Amino acid sequence: MRFIYCLLVVILLACTSDLNPQTVVAIQPLGQYDTELTSIIEKAIKKYYGVKVTVLKAKPIPKSHFVNVKSPRYRADSIIHYLKETRPASADYVLGFTDVDVSVTKTDDFGRIKEPIERYKDWGVMGLAYLSGRSCVVSTFRLRSNAKLLNERVTKVTLHELGHMLGLPHCENKKCFMTDAVESIKTIDNTRLDLCEACKKKIGMLK
């Protein structure tokens, strides 16, 4: 009985979000970035999640985060750690925003690099966040293949990564912007610019 109680507590904590009008999200422009898109995501975050947003002074990406395994990129996981360590005390969350290409090492459920290793050891991504973390990164590099869809893509990826920080895992609803992109920009294009009801309930947007 005690085990079941503890398990319920863990589940409830995992679904708990501190999303409220006093929550502060700081956007940290990194390296090369688009000022117009920065303004777009600032407004989108405020409007959708109903939180306060501040845009910080731009910073260079630390040179130690640069890799050139398959092509010139910056490690997304290293950027997230850097943002976590430098997050302003006044901000609950910090979102790194950049135009440069960012990457991760994709692993399977056992922590092994996915096959083929040469493909996945340095895999380019559109963004990265850890569940219930305090920092994330969004890159526009892989979103620019269609200029007409750029603003919507950037907004969806931004709200998706923030969703992870608020405690939302990937969603099975393919129209929810929390669905897993499964390595395809088309997946993002096919989602609505909205969370499904189940995801909204998890973070208190619906009662």
Global confidence as pTM: 0.90
Residues whose CB falls within 8 Å of the CB of residue 24, separated by 6 or more in sequence, listed in order: 51, 52, 53, 54, 90, 91, 92, 93
**Domains of the chain, with CATH numbers?**
21-162 (3.40.390.10)
Where does the pLDDT of residue 17 fall: very low under 50, low under 70, confident under 90, or very high at 90 and above? low
Position 191 scores a pLDDT of: 98
Tell me, letter by letter, the H, E, C secondary structure of 146-158: CHHHHHHHHHHHH
Residue 12 has pLDDT above 50, yes or no: no
Which of the pair, 110 or 10, is modelled with greater confidence?
A: 110
CB 84 within 8 A of CB 57: no
Tens-place pLDDT, residues 26-56 = 999 999 899 999 999 999 999 999 999 999 9
Q: Stretch 152-179: mean pLDDT, rounded?
A: 98
What's the token pair of residue 197? Answer: 């009801």
Tens-place pLDDT, residues 60-79 = 999 999 999 888 999 999 99
Residue 9 has pLDDT above 80, yes or no: no
Considering the chain, what is the average pLDDT of its residues? Answer: 91
Percent of the chain clearing pLDDT 90 (strictly above): 82
CB 127 within 8 A of CB 164: no
Where does the pLDDT of residue 10 fall: very low under 50, low under 70, confident under 90, or very high at 90 and above? very low
